[in-house]
Chains A and B, each alone.
With several copies, the nearest count.
Chain A
């Protein structure tokens, strides 16, 4: 048997395969198709203090090897999340990570404080391209990123993961600032800001004009950023962006990711997470790699 456990801060995962926020609902949507007990962790859909309606449709469209989304963080709000969604997730033997989004530092702090006791880790979404204010406004500004993480860090004891935006000039800077401000780990990448136009109607394909690009198309960008970020920090990086298969996941591990998240692939193949786990184990067995730590950051260059 190969050893695939990894640690993200004080969070111990039985394997490095996580679901990417917003692509696995609250877990229950997949429970008929996927044995949730097998997952390293589940990151729930982004949550805000109040329930949010999200953006008007159309919210998604397909692009070459990818898709755009502008869901706009439709979510049930923290109360319903804690009361209705968490108890279901808690029945499974997997770690639960809450992905949170606020408009102000105070909102992030309040969210973190309320979740600190009930989830296993908190992922700060400072990179959502699909909401006005909050989100990416933080994630594109180094000083705001710093202040936000610092404030949340003081308020919460659980493992704190900062999810970075790829829509910046220098991902390394944001990685370093996140580490210095008290983040225990980094998640990257969130979606890349993008746009598509229907030439017949002359209208944007998304109601919100711009949306976030995800899927295999962005994988080479994500691998690059994971590599750049993981080289300049000592905290673990959770890599994501277009992971469809075990081979893709291994690419991220070699680039320096300690764990990986499967996002858009869940839509295309609901069993993608399981196949990635099995595929990583198989690859290790064939290659006689006993411990996944021998893959992490194993790029030769």
Chain B
């Protein structure tokens, strides 16, 4: 455990696409470099409403004590976050959770649904063998498609699907995954996105008998393993997303 409670200065907080924001933070004290897949809990007000911290994955580490979070404006908490100005300081707890495992493989397949792209960018950036990297991304529509440039620069192959067909293939990320996942010897999947998408990624992985690591989400209060609020069902009983997760071997999850 190496989490810390620290203040971070906002270096930048700008729209990434309509409804999505990218915030760059500089920690005001030294923190351990987080592993991709780990997350931070951010406090949104010094008052009592909204009360709880919000969880955000590491998006990218951008040098000593500096990192980025990519987030979607969903409700009140992320709205407040989106209004925080450059130069202000915020209260952060982290890094938390286990992070993605470092594995060797012939092919690394990264599957992102919507804002699920956030931690996968950080993961891709720390991978040594970029030529073995395939990215599958699904969005609702073209305007929501984020991180395309970065992904294009990083990955050996990139496939995009949109629900309305305004960009890439029309359909879901699972559709394009199914179509393209032929050559699967020694393939590992890393996925982040809505629960339903993750379940279908798990189905794909099961069918091909390959490994898949999923970044799971559940409502959280503490992020530290103490409240037992964030559990999900696994083959070994309830596990805490904030402590035993958020990255789980897909075979563990009881859907």
Asked whether any CB of A lies within 8 Å of a CB of B in the complex, the reply is: yes
Residues of A within 8 A of B (CB): 22-25, 29-30, 32-33, 45, 53-54, 56-62, 64-67, 69, 71, 74, 215-216, 244, 264, 266-271
**Is A62 within 8 A of B224, CB to CB?**
no
Q: Per a CB cutoff under 8 Å, which of A33, A59, A66, A270 touches B228? A: A59
Q: How far is the CA of A30 from the CA of B222 in the complex (A)?
A: 10
**Is A54 within 8 A of B228, CB to CB?**
yes
**Is A69 within 8 A of B224, CB to CB?**
no
A206: shortest Cβ distance to chain B, in Å?
A: 9
Stretch at the interface among B47-55, B80-88, B102-110, B150-158: B47-55
- At the interface, yes or no: B221 with Cβ under 8 Å from chain A? yes
**Is A216 within 8 A of B51, CB to CB?**
yes
**Is A264 within 8 A of B218, CB to CB?**
no
Supposing A65-B51, A67-B52 touch, asked if A56 and B233 sit within 8 A by C-beta, the answer is yes
**Is A32 within 8 A of B1, CB to CB?**
yes
Q: How far is the CA of A301 from the CA of B48 in the complex (A)?
A: 29
Given the complex, which residues of B lie within 8 Å of A264, measured CB to CB? 51, 221
- At the interface, yes or no: B194 with Cβ under 8 Å from chain A? no
**Is A62 within 8 A of B51, CB to CB?**
yes
Chain B CB within 10 A, most for which of A24, A53, A58, A267: A267
- At the interface, yes or no: B255 with Cβ under 8 Å from chain A? no
**Is B222 within 8 A of A267, CB to CB?**
yes
Report the 3 A-B pairs with minimum CB-CB distance, sorted nearest first: A25-B226, A60-B229, A29-B226
Given the complex, which residues of A lie within 8 Å of B2, measured CB to CB? 32
Q: Per a CB cutoff under 8 Å, which of B48, B222, B232 touches A266? A: B222
**Is A270 within 8 A of B219, CB to CB?**
no
A42: shortest Cβ distance to chain B, in Å?
A: 11
Interface size on B, residues (CB 8 A): 31
**Is B48 within 8 A of A64, CB to CB?**
yes
Q: Per a CB cutoff under 8 Å, which of A56, A57, A215, A270 touches B230? A: A57
**Is A267 within 8 A of B52, CB to CB?**
yes
- At the interface, yes or no: B237 with Cβ under 8 Å from chain A? yes
Q: Per a CB cutoff under 8 Å, which of A53, A56, A59 touches B229? A: A59
Task: Indicate with 1 or 0, residue by residue over B198-238, a CB within 8 angstroms of chain A CB atoms.
Answer: 00000000000000000000111111111111111100011
B254: shortest Cβ distance to chain A, in Å?
A: 10
Given the complex, which residues of A lie within 8 Å of B43, measured CB to CB? 268-269
A123: shortest Cβ distance to chain B, in Å?
A: 17
Query: Which residue of chain B has the shortest Cβ distance to A219 in the bound complex?
Result: B48
**Is A57 within 8 A of B218, CB to CB?**
yes
Supposing A25-B224, A57-B218, A60-B219 touch, asked if A268 and B231 sit within 8 A by C-beta, the answer is no
**Is B5 within 8 A of A65, CB to CB?**
no
**Is B227 within 8 A of A267, CB to CB?**
yes
Given the complex, which residues of A lie within 8 Å of B218, measured CB to CB? 57-58
- At the interface, yes or no: B90 with Cβ under 8 Å from chain A? no
**Is B232 within 8 A of A57, CB to CB?**
yes
Given the complex, which residues of A lie within 8 Å of B219, measured CB to CB? 57-61
A-B contact pairs, 16 of them (CB 8 A): A29-B224, A32-B1, A54-B228, A56-B233, A57-B238, A59-B231, A60-B229, A60-B230, A62-B50, A71-B228, A216-B51, A266-B226, A267-B221, A267-B223, A269-B5, A270-B222
- At the interface, yes or no: B3 with Cβ under 8 Å from chain A? yes
- At the interface, yes or no: B93 with Cβ under 8 Å from chain A? yes
Given the complex, which residues of B lie within 8 Å of A33, measured CB to CB? 3-5, 224
Q: How far is the CA of A71 from the CA of B5 in the complex (A)?
A: 25
**Is A65 within 8 A of B49, CB to CB?**
yes
Supposing A25-B224, A267-B221 touch, asked if A64 and B49 sit within 8 A by C-beta, the answer is yes
Given the complex, which residues of A lie within 8 Å of B221, measured CB to CB? 60, 67, 69, 264, 267
Supposing A58-B218, A271-B5 touch, asked if A244 and B48 sit within 8 A by C-beta, the answer is yes
Chain B CB within 10 A, most for which of A22, A29, A269: A29
**Is A69 within 8 A of B227, CB to CB?**
yes
Interface residues of B in 35-78 (CB under 8 A from A): 43, 48-53
Given the complex, which residues of A lie within 8 Å of B227, measured CB to CB? 22-23, 25, 60, 69, 71, 267
Beyond A32-B2, A33-B4, A53-B238: 10 further Cβ-contacts under 8 Å?
Answer: A23-B226, A25-B224, A25-B226, A32-B3, A54-B231, A54-B238, A71-B228, A216-B48, A268-B51, A268-B52
Supposing A25-B226, A57-B230, A67-B52 touch, asked if A270 and B238 sit within 8 A by C-beta, the answer is no
Given the complex, which residues of B lie within 8 Å of A56, measured CB to CB? 233
**Is A215 within 8 A of B48, CB to CB?**
yes
Q: How far is the CA of A60 from the CA of B224 in the complex (A)?
A: 15
B221: shortest Cβ distance to chain A, in Å?
A: 4
**Is A30 within 8 A of B233, CB to CB?**
no
